Amino acid sequence: MVELITVMIIVGILAAVAMPKFFERGTYDSRGFADEVKATLRYAQKAAIAQRRFVCVNFTSTNISLTYDVTGPSATHTVAACTLPLTLPFEFKTLGDARMAGYPTTMTIDAIGRPSAAQTINIQVNGATEYTVKVEAETGYVH
């Protein structure tokens, strides 16, 4: 009987500590959204290299869209030249209340995979853990 009561007390303590973690999705949604942002930026870089064209990455707080330049690489490239939509091989969607903060409105990736500038994007869901996605300026490395 004593053992049964002891086990019930231990299970009750574990349930009180662990159960909120199972119902709190903010951290998981933040991480999932950060992974989607990374995958999209990597895809944009690979598409720019493969097509030898500028790819423009357009940001909103909950979405990313990709467009590419109709003409080939040139020194006179502008963001306005990116008019053709570049479709993703996967569906980009917001997970829960995931939001990006401190994001650029537009980033261009040139024909050799370099972004227009180094970028840092912060992703958070309802005050949960914040994840940072970084794009290096010279190499375009996304991490």
Q: Where are the domains of the chain?
A: 48-143
Q: Is the Cα dihedral 70, 71, 73, 79 positive or negative?
A: negative
User: What is the rounded CA–CA span in Å between residue 40 and residue 96?
Assistant: 18
- Give the CA distances from residue 33 to residues 17, 36, 122, in Å, rounded to whole numbers and listed in that order: 26, 5, 11
pLDDT at 77: 61
pLDDT at 27: 74
**Is the domain covering 48-143 a CATH 3.55.40.10 domain?**
yes
Q: Going from the first residue of the chain to its last (143 residues), give the mean pLDDT of each consecutive group of 10, the final group possibly shorter.
A: 92 84 74 86 92 88 84 64 80 73 83 86 74 87 89
User: What is the rounded CA–CA span in Å between residue 79 and residue 34?
Assistant: 25
pTM tops 0.85, yes or no: no
